[in-house]
């Protein structure tokens, strides 16, 4: 019989609907059930693409004997961290306070009936190993402690809740005087943490760090900092050559288990790939290196091929596992590849992907990564560059076709507003940089779906699946979708996108802003009451919502002339500025926004016949200018805000403003190029 998850929308929860565990979703009724039964809550948080979540499910949650212990002693709650990032944030923080170790998924945490945690871990094996207790034995010990030491646990819980509250930023009583000191210090911290051999930051495991790379690219350009520029470009190069990147199908996995980017955890997340698209566009603009353009093309094509729903929105993730084995869909035996390719193709592919060396994966298999430069191999094989490229492309097409016949990893087909925002922004920038109408249409269709489906009765919802939209949207949903709408406006102006951007910004101010202290809470003012209400500025796998919200508000203020948006962004930066000074490397997104406040973005408005404005835009877009917003108009738009309302002329005209200073109208492309330099 299915448990209480059978009617949920989350694919992750539905994966557990037939477990013998009596799982419940998180809601008020379940919490009341725990109070009435006088039982502790076992809260398990994960997501559908998570490998170790699957392992724990197969070992324990599908086991009748383990489930019997869970059902007898606990009220069991299963949460999808992607649908409920508010709960995940709180209990990951609590896990750190309880264990002094970073968390992850699955998160296994035990709560009092009011939601206060008293014991925490991540993955627990069924039988004791890896230095971890066996899960059934642990359950009995925790149940006994909850029964016999309740007062001690309650006192500990009160201390923990107080510690969580103390993590929140406090408004500085003195008037904050902004400077670029945190920006420069953040850059220096990232440079000190740079792995000069492999790229990236720190040792294994290696994550993508998109906010840090974005800051380094921008500051490398703005400050003529060759080291910052090299750090970002070299890291992006090494990731693109490694096994973290799907060399055949495009797209990046979540992180690498080793320092040299060889072997990832194989789940592919929408949010990672949206952020990577934008970064690789910028890398190409900075360097004109075809490697970065190739990554954008392959990844954008992968998104449209495998991650876009028929309705237009983007799905959440691809699983790490297929046929209960991590990476099975992606890795190869050497003889498989040899059998598929011609002699000439294999002669190139064998050294290119390192098939002439030791296998790098389990069971004598290879996860493909670039091991030798194509140019060197062309010389060694007496091929010209075009021949080598053609042979490689033909081989990749054959391998991708053969891989497509395998059993595919599962796909989480829920639609998340926040992650769609990140991918829409990435696709919009890619469409702008590479003049791809198909990528632009993809991004516009996704935003149209979100606006029509997740915006209901004057407010935004967080998730959609199987015809049902629900859950209060979070700060990240509003911030990332605002950024996406602004990215689309700079690719092709549509009044509907500007209107949506304004609605999102107004909702940010009305429903999330702390008007007394500044900054934005992660949950709205009408959200359910939890043991903590987060307001954070640190970046994680995604840029922090406060940083992206403040950036979007500053840019929207430039487009609309509405100073209240810029004022809210400034209040946000004032709140976090002391923390940014103390630990700048953790606040890269806010540092980027602070830099924008200190050096206001330039706004270029082009108006005229579409073919001419497109040519002007292309001419001025060949350089990396992250501080420049470009809006292209035909002159037939109506109800434009004052900064965009320009007189229509028969010839193409440019209006260029920097902060509060605007130049006279420009009628020649050469004059515009001079003004921009």
Q: What is the DSSP string of 188-209?
A: HHHHHTB-TTT-SBSSSSB---
pLDDT (0 to 100) of residue 659: 80
Whether 23 and 77 have beta carbons less than 8 Å apart is answered as: yes
Give whole-number Cα distances, 67 to 18, 58, 74, 93, 124, in Å.
12, 12, 10, 27, 14
Q: Which residue has the tokens 């140019």?
A: 375
Distance (Å, whole) CA 379 – CA 374: 9
Per-residue confidence at 337, pLDDT binned at 50, 70, 90? very high
Task: Note the pLDDT tens digit of each residue in 425-434.
Answer: 999 999 999 9
How are beta strands 411-412 and 325-326 bridged, if at all?
unpaired
Whether 135 and 66 have beta carbons less than 8 Å apart is answered as: yes
3-state secondary structure of 575: helix
pLDDT (0 to 100) of residue 600: 82
Distance (Å, whole) CA 244 – CA 331: 12
* pLDDT over 80 (residue 1): no
For the record, the structure tokens of 588 come out as: 């890269």
Provide the CA 667 distance to its chain's centre, in angstroms.
Answer: 41
3-state secondary structure of 264: strand
Q: CB under 8 Å, gap of 24 or more: what pairs does 383-389 form?
A: 383/348, 388/348
Q: What is the DSSP string of 409-460?
A: PPEE--EEHHHHHHHHHHHHHHHHHHT-HHHHHHHHHHHHHHHHHTEETTEE
Distance (Å, whole) CA 366 – CA 242: 12
Provide the CA 214 distance to its chain's centre, in angstroms.
Answer: 13
* pLDDT over 90 (residue 2): no
| Domains with residue ranges and CATH for the chain | 11-166 (3.40.30.10), 184-322+412-598 (1.50.10.10), 330-406 (1.10.10), 602-676 (no CATH)
Distance (Å, whole) CA 532 – CA 512: 15
| Residues belonging to the chain | 677
Give whole-number Cα distances, 423 to 272, 429, 444, in Å.
9, 10, 11
Task: Note the pLDDT tens digit of each residue in 38-80.
Answer: 999 999 999 999 999 999 999 999 999 999 999 999 999 999 9
Provide the CA 348 distance to its chain's centre, in angstroms.
Answer: 35
For the record, the structure tokens of 485 come out as: 């709408």
Task: Note the pLDDT tens digit of each residue in 568-594.
Answer: 999 999 999 999 999 999 999 999 999
For the record, the structure tokens of 160 come out as: 């923990």
The pLDDT of 235-253, averaged and rounded, is: 98
Q: What is the largest CA-CA distance in the chain?
A: 84
Mean pLDDT in the chain? 96
CA-wise closest residue to 16 among 38, 45, 37, 39: 45
CA-based radius of gyration for the chain: 26
- pTM to 2 decimal places: 0.97
Distance (Å, whole) CA 151 – CA 167: 25
pLDDT (0 to 100) of residue 39: 97
Whether 590 and 580 have beta carbons less than 8 Å apart is answered as: yes
Task: Note the pLDDT tens digit of each residue in 137-196.
Answer: 999 999 999 999 999 999 999 999 999 999 899 888 888 999 999 999 999 999 999 999
Beta bridge pairs of residue 119: 110
Whether 248 and 402 have beta carbons less than 8 Å apart is answered as: no
Beta bridge pairs of residue 548: none
Per-residue confidence at 448, pLDDT binned at 50, 70, 90? very high
* pLDDT over 80 (residue 649): no
CA-wise closest residue to 135 among 43, 52, 60: 60
Give whole-number Cα distances, 182 to 297, 364, 583, 591, 622, in Å.
35, 48, 8, 7, 30
For the record, the structure tokens of 69 come out as: 């212990």
Query: Residue 656 belongs to what H/E stretch?
Result: strand 653-658
């Amino acid at each position: 019989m299915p448990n209480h998850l059978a009617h949920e929308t989350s694919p992750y929860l539905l994966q557990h609907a037939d477990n013998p565990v009596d799982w419940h979703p998180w809601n008020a009724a379940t919490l009341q059930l725990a109070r009435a039964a006088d039982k502790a809550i076992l809260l398990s948080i994960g997501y559908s693409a998570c490998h170790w979540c699957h392992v724990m499910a197969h070992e324990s949650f599908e086991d009748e004997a383990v489930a019997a212990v869970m059902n007898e002693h606990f009220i069991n709650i299963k949460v999808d961290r992607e649908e409920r990032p508010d709960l995940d944030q709180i209990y990951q923080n609590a896990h750190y306070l309880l264990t002094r170790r970073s968390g992850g998924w699955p998160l296994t945490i035990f709560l009092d009936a009011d939601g206060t945690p008293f014991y925490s871990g991540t993955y627990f094996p069924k039988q004791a190993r890896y230095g971890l207790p066996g899960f059934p034995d642990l359950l009995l010990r925790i149940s006994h402690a909850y029964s016999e030491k309740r007062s001690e646990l309650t006192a500990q819980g009160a201390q923990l809740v107080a510690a969580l509250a103390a993590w929140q930023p406090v408004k500085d009583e003195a008037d904050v005087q902004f400077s670029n000191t945190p920006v420069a210090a953040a850059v220096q911290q990232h440079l000190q943490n740079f792995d000069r051999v492999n790229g990236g930051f720190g040792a294994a495991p290696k994550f993508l760090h998109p906010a840090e790379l974005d800051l380094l690219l921008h500051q490398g350009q703005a400050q003529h900092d060759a080291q910052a520029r090299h750090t970002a470009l070299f890291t992006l190069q090494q990731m693109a050559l490694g096994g973290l990147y799907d060399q055949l199908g495009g797209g990046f996995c979540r992180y690498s288990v080793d320092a040299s980017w060889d072997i990832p955890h194989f789940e592919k997340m929408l949010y990672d790939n949206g952020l990577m698209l934008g970064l690789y566009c910028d890398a190409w603009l900075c360097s004109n290196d075809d490697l970065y353009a190739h990554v954008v093309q392959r990844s954008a094509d992968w998104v449209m091929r495998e991650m876009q729903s028929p309705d237009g929105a983007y799905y959440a993730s691809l699983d790490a596992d297929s046929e209960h084995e991590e990476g099975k869909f992606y890795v190869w035996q050497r003889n498989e590849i040899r059998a598929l390719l011609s002699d000439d193709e294999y002669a190139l592919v064998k050294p290119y992907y390192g098939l002439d060396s030791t296998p790098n994966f389990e069971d004598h298999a290879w996860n493909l990564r670039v091991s030798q430069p194509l140019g060197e191999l062309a010389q060694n094989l007496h091929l010209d560059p075009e021949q080598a490229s053609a042979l490689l492309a033909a081989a990749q097409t054959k391998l991708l076709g053969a891989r497509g016949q395998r059993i595919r990893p599962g796909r989480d087909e829920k639609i998340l507003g926040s992650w769609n925002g990140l991918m829409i922004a990435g696709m919009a920038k890619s469409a702008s940089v590479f003049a791809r109408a198909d990528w632009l249409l993809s991004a516009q269709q996704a935003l149209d779906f979100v606006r029509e489906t997740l915006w209901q009765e004057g407010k935004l919802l967080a998730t959609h699946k199987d015809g049902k939209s629900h859950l209060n949207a979070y700060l990240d949903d509003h911030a990332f979708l605002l950024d996406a709408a602004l990215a689309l406006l700079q690719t092709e102006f549509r009044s509907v996108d500007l209107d949506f951007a304004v609605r999102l910004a107004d909702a940010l101010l009305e429903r999330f802003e702390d008007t007394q202290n500044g900054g934005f809470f992660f949950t709205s003012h009408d959200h359910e009451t939890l043991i903590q209400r987060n307001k954070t500025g640190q970046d994680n796998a995604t840029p922090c919502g406060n940083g992206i919200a403040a950036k979007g508000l500053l840019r929207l203020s430039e487009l609309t002339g509405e100073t209240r948006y810029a004022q809210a962004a400034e209040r946000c930066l004032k709140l976090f500025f002391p923390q940014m000074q103390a630990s700048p490397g953790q606040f890269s997104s806010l540092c980027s926004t602070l830099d924008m406040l200190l050096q206001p973005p330039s706004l270029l408005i082009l108006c005229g016949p579409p073919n001419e404005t497109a040519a002007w835009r292309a001419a001025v877009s060949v350089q990396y200018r992250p501080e420049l917003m470009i809006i292209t108009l035909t002159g037939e738009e109506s109800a434009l805000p004052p900064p965009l309302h320009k007189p229509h002329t028969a010839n193409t005209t440019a209006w260029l403003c920097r902060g509060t200073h605007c130049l006279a109208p420009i009628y020649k492309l050469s004059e515009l190029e001079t003004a921009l330099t």
